[in-house]
Amino acid sequence: MKLVKIIAVVTMLTLGLLAVAQDAPKAEVSANYSLLVYNPAKNLTGSRNLNGGGGAFVFNLGKYLGLKGEFQGYASTTATWTIPAGNATLKPGVYSTQGNMFTYLFGPQFNYRAKKARIFGETLFGGAYTNAYSQIATAAGVSNPSTNNNGFAMAFGGGLDINASKSVSLRLAEVDYMMTRFQWPAIGTNNQSNFRYQAGIVFNLGGGK
């Protein structure tokens, strides 16, 4: 009997949270903290945590679809690279370097709007910049590194916003798979499969919610 009551209470709370879908604001501006677990060339170094932040702008075409532009910046901790013997391009050895990253992504955002919350998904494409590969090339004795610091990037994921008021929402979590692709002549073109977490605040501009 207690179990039935618990299930009933949980069901009522869930239905209350995901009640009637609300009207969408005309636009949204967000600011956030961002953690990127970045996976560079794994045969040379392990993953590193990049901490940073940024923001996004969404122009809503209706309740369920918006167009998003997002910009994030990251600073990394020191990473250790091991260049094995026999590498024809880089001097073998163990090197410590730092690197930053900046990403700029654009694409559709899909929304389900409830009375007290919003669940969203996104598919974003754009680019990323980092100086990490040029720094390791310089540290490893390449006097004129031809490393490309700019690469393709895309992110797929989604998150949950809780409505604090008509004009402000709290982004509890946004979780994305993020792929970057940088060209490093020493190892060729590589895809980096990364994990991204974000949390922050969203300001709703114009219209209902």
On whether residue 9 sits in a domain, the answer given is no
On whether residue 6 sits in a domain, the answer given is no
On whether residue 52 sits in a domain, the answer given is yes
Q: What is the DSSP string of the chain?
A: -HHHHHHHHHHHHHHHHT-SPPPPEEEEEEEEEEEEEE---TTT---EEEEEEEEEEEEESSSSEEEEEEEEEEEEPPEEEEE-TT-SSS--EEEEE--EEEEEEEEEEEEEE-SSEEEEEEEEEEEEEESHHHHHHHHTT-SS-----EEEEEEEEEEEEEESSSSEEEEEEEEEEEEEEEEETTTEEEEEEEEEEEEEEEEEEEE--
Q: pLDDT tens-digit profile of 189-208?
A: 678 899 999 999 999 998 75
On whether residue 118 sits in a domain, the answer given is yes
pTM above 0.95, yes or no: no
On whether residue 77 sits in a domain, the answer given is yes
Q: Residue 168 sits in which domain range?
A: 25-207
Please give the tally of structural domains in the chain.
1
On whether residue 20 sits in a domain, the answer given is no
CATH classification of the domain holding 61: 2.40.160.20
On whether residue 13 sits in a domain, the answer given is no
What is the mean predicted confidence (pLDDT) over 169-198?
A: 86
pLDDT at site 171? 97
pLDDT at site 155? 98
pLDDT at 91 over 90: no
On whether residue 203 sits in a domain, the answer given is yes
